[in-house]
Structure 1
């Protein structure tokens, strides 16, 4: 018997150079328990990854803002305040950093992502004005409504699937995975994880990125 999993994507299922590690396409479809992908990315991204992996579409997207399990989509918060903060940031000379098409945010339902090259001080000032949190995932700044966390999405997904959240094992790499680690029964931070994730995890792998994730999965078998 293997436990159900909650897996972050960026930094966890990816290569050091970026992009999905192709070993994911062997490891996850072969896992004999539910797999939930939990990410800060916009809702369509993890759904598409599940589709191409040919595993059930079970996702927590936008840091818990959207939960999709067993054909039920739960949008836990609206994006009015994050979008207002982003507009104020741009009006004051800031740049979201994704170009005119902005495919990073085009399909995002509950938050706004901003490039790490952005003026952080200006961004945090705009966020504070609208009562919005700034979450740094190491890949982007995310303007999120306070109280929205991946861990809440994990609890919701577990309930829908008929599990206790403590039945799950999580693997992640950044501060937005801390609430996930707190919700599950066992957690692994991969070696490239930031300080907050490492401190919150039950284990830190020797391997980084997908090497660390495969190391964690092997230990669970």
Structure 2
């Protein structure tokens, strides 16, 4: 029996150019165990991907701020404090860095994402001044201003409980700082070769291949192990 999976999306199920790798649609629909899509993206993105994979919409979105399992959605993050930090950042001359686009944050319920072009030093200064309820997480794709009380790892614990599966039965694959908490909860963890330093240090194994190449290799090895 193959193990349940907790999979990051960006940098893990994608190509180097940020596109969903077509092998996702070959490997995941028939995976005979739960697959949790755990991402920093807003809630609609992993739900849509699960839908197109033909899988249950079991997702952890917004770095643990929103969790959906067994047709129930739990909003775990508090949006008020992150939004206040971003407003203070703007008042001090900061720019979210998205230009005229509003799709990055339009559907976010618990956090705010800023472009990597935003003034990181100012953002972190403002967040620190707000006290310990808010943190800034660099996923390599955006700066996420979020509640400190939520994480992908805590989301995975909630999903595992709902599914009746021990968290340490999961295999987690990711590439970023926001996957560290997932790695800590899962029984086995892999960082793809493009992973940042935090993810590489936290993972049980750092694979040789990047992006979906690395993920596909891990899935192949898991199948062989359980054949």
TM range (shorter): over 0.9
Among candidates 185, 188, 209, match of residue 186 of structure 1: 188
What is the RMSD of the two structures over their aligned residues, measured on CA atoms?
0.9
* 1:13-28 correspondence runs (5 A): 13-28=13-28
Provide the C-alpha distance between the structure 2 equivalents of 1:77 and 1:39, rounded to a whole number of angstroms.
14
In structure 2, list runs of 5 or more residues that go unmatched.
none
Q: Does the residue aligned with 1:104 lie in a helix, a strand or coil? A: helix
Give the C-alpha shift of residue 164 in structure 1. Answer: 0.3
Residue of structure 1 in register with 2:37 after alignment: 37
Distance 1:215 1:206 in 2: 9
Deviations 1:190-215 (A, max 9, x none): 01111111111111111100000001
Structure 2 length-normalised TM: 0.95
Paired with 1:188 and 1:182, the residues of 2 have a C-alpha distance of 11
Query: 1:1-221 residue pairs with structure 2 within 5 A?
Result: 1-131=1-131, 132-221=134-223
List alignment gaps of at least 5 residues for structure 1: none
Question: What SS does structure 2 have at the residue aligned with 1:116?
Answer: coil
**Which secondary structure does the structure 2 equivalent of 1:82 belong to?**
helix
1:1-27 per-position Cα deviation (integer Å, ceiling 9, x unaligned) = 100000000000000111111110111
- TM-score normalised by structure 1 residue count: 0.98
**The residue matched to 1:143 in structure 2 has which SS?**
strand
Offset at residue 99 of structure 1 (A) = 2.8
Corresponding pairs, count? 221
* Whole-angstrom CA distance in 1 between matches of 2:100 and 2:159: 35
What is the alpha-carbon distance in structure 1 between the residues aligned to residue 35 and residue 188 of structure 2? 15
1:101 Cα deviation from its structure 2 partner: 4.1
- Residue deviations 1:123-147, cap 9 Å, x none? 1122112232110000000001112
Write the distance in 2 (CA, Å) between the matches of 1:101 and 1:129. 28
Q: Distance in 2 between matches of 1:215 and 1:101?
A: 36
